Amino acid sequence: MSRQSLTTDLHSILNSFLDLIGCDGGSIYTLEKNLQGDDVLVFKAMITRSLGVEAVPTHLRSLVFRLDENSTVGRTGLNREVYNDSVISVQPTADGTVPRQRPRSAIDIAMGYETLNMLSAPLLTPRGDLVGVIQLVNKIPENMETEAVFGEKDERLCGIVSSQAALVIENSMLLVEQENILDGFVNACVTAIEARDPVTSGHSQRVCDLTLNLASAVNREQSGPLGLIHFSETQFRELRYAAMLHDIGKISVKEHILQKEKKLYPWELKEIEMRFKLMKSAYRLEFHGEENQLELGRRLKDLDQAYQTILKANEPTVLPQEVSENILELTKLQVKIDDGEVCCALHAHESQRLCIPRGSLSPEERIEIEKHVSFTYEILKMVPWSRGLEQVPTIAHRHHEKLDRTGYPLKVGGEDIPIQSRMLTIADIYDALTAKDRPYKAAVPLDKALEILESEVKQGKLDGVLFKLFVQSRAYLLTTRSETSGSPKKSGKAA
Ligand SMILES: [Fe+2]
Ligand SMILES: [Fe+2]
The domains of the chain are located at 3-178, 197-253+367-472, 266-359
Question: Which residues make Cβ contacts (< 8 Å) with residue 437, sequence separation at least 6?
Answer: 199, 200, 201, 202
CA of 246 to the centre of ligand 2 (A): 6
CA of 425 to the centre of ligand 1 (A): 9
- Residue 95 has a pLDDT of 59
Query: Can you tell me the distance from the alpha carbon of 359 to that of 378, in angstroms, rounded to the nearest whole number?
Result: 28
CA of 449 to the centre of ligand 1 (A): 17
Residue-by-residue pLDDT tens, the chain, 495 positions: 466 678 888 999 999 999 999 999 999 999 999 888 899 999 999 999 999 999 998 888 888 999 999 999 999 999 999 998 865 445 555 555 555 556 677 778 888 888 888 999 999 998 899 999 999 999 988 776 666 788 888 898 888 889 888 998 899 888 888 899 999 999 999 998 888 877 778 999 999 999 999 999 999 999 999 999 999 999 999 999 999 999 999 988 988 888 888 999 999 999 999 999 999 999 998 888 888 899 999 999 999 999 999 999 998 877 788 888 888 888 888 888 877 788 888 998 999 889 888 888 888 999 999 999 999 999 999 999 989 999 999 999 999 999 999 999 999 999 999 999 999 999 999 999 998 766 556 788 999 999 999 999 999 999 999 999 999 999 999 865 433 333 333 344 567
CA of 373 to the centre of ligand 2 (A): 9
CA of 396 to the centre of ligand 2 (A): 10
Ligand in nearest proximity to the CA of 210: 2
CA of 397 to the centre of ligand 1 (A): 9
Give domain 197-253+367-472's CATH number out of 3.30.930.10, 3.30.9.10, 1.10.3210.10, 3.40.50.11810. 1.10.3210.10
Give domain 3-178's CATH number out of 3.30.450.40, 3.40.50.300, 3.50.50.60, 4.10.780.10. 3.30.450.40
CA-wise closest residue to 303 among 322, 289, 284? 284
CA of 489 to the centre of ligand 1 (A): 18
CA of 432 to the centre of ligand 2 (A): 7
Ligand in nearest proximity to the CA of 202: 2
CA of 397 to the centre of ligand 2 (A): 11
Written as one string, the DSSP assignment of 374-399 is HHHHHHHHTS-PPTT-TTHHHHHHTT
> Same topology for domains 3-178 and 197-253+367-472, yes or no?
no
Ligand in nearest proximity to the CA of 409: 1
Written as one string, the DSSP assignment of 42-98 is EEEEEEEGGGTB-S--GGGTT-EEESSTTSHHHHHHHHT--EETT-S-----TTSPP
Query: Can you tell me the distance from the alpha carbon of 406 to that of 388, in angstroms, rounded to the nearest whole number?
Result: 30
- Residue 96 has a pLDDT of 54
Query: How many Cα atoms within 13 Å fall on the side-chain side of residue 240?
Result: 17
- Residue 481 has a pLDDT of 40
- Residue 482 has a pLDDT of 35
CA of 206 to the centre of ligand 2 (A): 10
CA of 248 to the centre of ligand 1 (A): 8
CA of 250 to the centre of ligand 2 (A): 9
CA of 216 to the centre of ligand 1 (A): 22
- Residue 208 has a pLDDT of 96
CA of 494 to the centre of ligand 2 (A): 7
- Residue 181 has a pLDDT of 92
